[in-house]
Amino acid sequence: MSALRNARNLAPQSPGANNMNIPKIAFFDAKPYDIEFFNSVNQDFGFDIKYFTSRLTKDTVAMANGSDAVCVFVNDMLSSDVIDGLLGTSARLIALRCAGYNNVDLRAIFGKMHVVRVPAYSPYAVAEHAVAMMLSLNRRIHKAYARTRDSNFSLNGLIGFDMRGKTAGIIGTGKIGKIVAEILKGFGMNILLYDKFPDNSFAKLNNIKYSDIETIFNLSDVISLHCPLTPENHHLINTAAIAKMKKGVMIINTGRGKLIDTLALIDGLKTATIGYAGLDVYEEETEYFFEDFSNSVIGDDVLARLLTFPNVLITSHQAYFTREALTNIAATTLSNIKAFFENGELANEICYKCGAGTCMKKETGKCF
Ligand code: NAI
């Protein structure tokens, strides 16, 4: 019973809740690779995981009944109506198996159900993917690959530039942004950092400077986005920002799609203000990313337009996708769930008050 004690502290047990010691997890949006890595790591935890291929929506939320926790990913939208539905099931914990939580209405859930996440699983995976996109776009590897496969060995149109001596602007210098800065410094690039909360000791240690965002826009040859999506930075890269950038700038986004106003990006690409765009995330990715539409017609005209540019490289929210990251994601997610059901501290809990430091986590180990 102890396993469920915590859940019952929050609300009376729902009829659907199980009465066994082993917590049940309803796992939404399960892909074969999730199942492989979670089953492997779960050998050390012994949870009863039920995998659903469906995303968590207001139509599928009833599938959480009978579970003690739901496990969700970036495109499971926990809007207030989905949360209302979830509160009517037996589930008492939301375990995000990702770092970002812009898909959860944290105000709507506060005080009703705890939300835990995986704050870091492999910042190296994401940073290295961002750099892979830079190098691919610069040296046109995506074009060269297709060309030589077609026995076309011409070099016309494949000219790149030396990264050494160019300026890279890193927006968001948390775990991922710092690694990108270090890698690009290794290339001999000039690095400019921008963060709402600068880490001056990192800058000093690496002999790199923070600057304001205007300077990043004005001087960078490559701009890479590594901040979370917040209401404040929605469409950070918009028409006005693009107008300030160097002609031919490269923009890389492995952060979140809505950091960029995609229509403004398309305008920038059409006028050649933007020379290259590497997008691992896209504003409306929920509809398409992670799924196979190769036999369908893409109904999203904006995405379809992006796919026509030779200097745009899109990957499908793939930056995190390494063996190391998948192992860490499974291990941290299951540890978070274990901590909850053993009434432990929820070190990885998040709430809307965390940012302001006004939640109770420091005092009680939980946000509320
Ligand atoms: P982090 O929390 O370590 O760092 C984020 C940094 O952004 C912090 O230093 C913070 O002060 C800064 N920041 C916050 N608001 C800002 C603003 N308005 N302007 C400038 N900087 C701001 O996060 P981490 O692990 O480095 O991840 C960054 C983001 O990358 C995540 O929030 C997530 O959205 C995205 N991500 C994408 C993945 C992918 O597969 N494409 C995988 C993992 C994360």
Record the tokens describing residue 231, joined without a space: 């209401």
pLDDT bucket at 249, cuts 50 / 70 / 90: very high
- What is the best residue among 33, 227, 333 to mutate for testing ligand 1's pocket, by most ligand atoms within 8 Å of CB? 227
What range does the domain containing 40 cover?
Answer: 3-121+322-364
Q: In this predicted model, what pLDDT tens digit does every residue of 218-236 receive, in sequence order?
A: 999 999 999 999 999 999 9
Q: From CA 67, how far away is CA 70, in angstroms rounded?
A: 7
**DSSP assignment of 99-116:** S--TTB-HHHHTTTSEEE
Mean per-residue pLDDT of the chain:
93
Q: From CA 327, how far away is CA 329, in angstroms rounded?
A: 5
Residues 280 and 131 in one domain: yes
Q: From CA 48, how far away is CA 30, in angstroms rounded?
A: 15
Residues 100 and 175 in one domain: no
Give the least confident one: 107-111, 165-169, 353-357.
353-357
Q: In this predicted model, what pLDDT tens digit does every residue of 308-358 receive, in sequence order?
A: 999 999 999 999 999 999 999 999 999 999 999 997 789 999 999 997 878
Residues 210 and 298 in one domain: yes
Residues 110 and 138 in one domain: no
Please work out whether the CB of residue 227 comes within 6 Å of at least one atom of ligand 1: yes
Residue nearest to atom 2 of ligand 1 (CA): 174
Residues 105 and 131 in one domain: no
pLDDT at site 29: 96
- Which atom from ligand 1 is nearest to the alpha carbon of 256? 34
Q: In this predicted model, what pLDDT tens digit does every residue of 24-71 receive, in sequence order?
A: 999 999 999 999 999 999 999 999 999 999 999 999 999 999 999 999
pLDDT at site 356: 81
Stretch (H or E) spanning 340 = helix 323-341
- Distance from Cα 161 to the centre of ligand 1, integer Å: 28
Residues 54 and 195 in one domain: no
Residues 153 and 94 in one domain: no
**DSSP assignment of 47-100:** -EEEE-SS---TTTGGGGTT-SEEEE-TTS-B-HHHHHHHHTSS--EEEESSS-
Residues marked active site are found at 256, 285, 317
Mean pLDDT of 109-120: 96
Q: Are 278 and 250 in contact (CB under 8 A)?
A: yes
Mean pLDDT of 298-308: 97
Residues 127 and 229 in one domain: yes
191 has which bridge partners?
168
pLDDT at site 15: 34
Residues 17 and 115 in one domain: yes
Q: In this predicted model, what pLDDT tens digit does every residue of 206-215 receive, in sequence order?
A: 999 999 999 9
Residues 272 and 330 in one domain: no
pLDDT bucket at 20, cuts 50 / 70 / 90: low
| 3-class secondary structure, 145 | helix
- Distance from Cα 230 to the centre of ligand 1, integer Å: 10
Query: How many folded domains does the chain comprise?
Result: 2
> Any idea which residue has 């192992």 for tokens?
327
Strand ranges in the chain using DSSP code E only, listed in sequence order:
24-27, 48-51, 69-72, 93-96, 114-116, 167-171, 190-194, 209-210, 222-225, 249-253, 274-279, 312-314
Percent of the chain with pLDDT over 70: 95
- State CA 15 to chain mean position distance: 35
Percent of the chain with pLDDT over 90: 89
Per-residue CA distances from 134 to 128, 168, 180, 276 (Å): 10, 11, 11, 9
Residue nearest to atom 31 of ligand 1 (CA): 228
Mean pLDDT of 108-117: 96
Q: In this predicted model, what pLDDT tens digit does every residue of 126-137 receive, in sequence order?
A: 999 999 999 999
pLDDT at site 6: 39
* Residue 206 amino acid letter: N
Report the greatest alpha carbon distance in the chain.
70
What is the number of other CB atoms lying within 10 angstroms of the CB of residue 218? 15
Residue nearest to atom 14 of ligand 1 (CA): 227
- Distance from Cα 226 to the centre of ligand 1, integer Å: 5
CATH number at residue 82: 3.40.50.720
Residues 60 and 74 in one domain: yes
Residues 45 and 80 in one domain: yes
What is the number of other CB atoms lying within 10 angstroms of the CB of residue 270? 11
pTM over 0.95: no
Q: From CA 258, how far away is CA 301, in angstroms rounded?
A: 17
- State CA 177 to chain mean position distance: 13
Q: In this predicted model, what pLDDT tens digit does every residue of 66-105 receive, in sequence order?
A: 999 999 999 899 999 999 999 999 999 999 999 989 999 9
pLDDT at site 4: 37
142-150: list long-range contacts, CB under 8 Å, 24+ apart: 142/313, 143/310
Last residue of a domain, one of 314, 336, 352: 314
Mean pLDDT of 144-171: 98
Please work out whether the CB of residue 355 comes within 6 Å of at least one atom of ligand 1: no
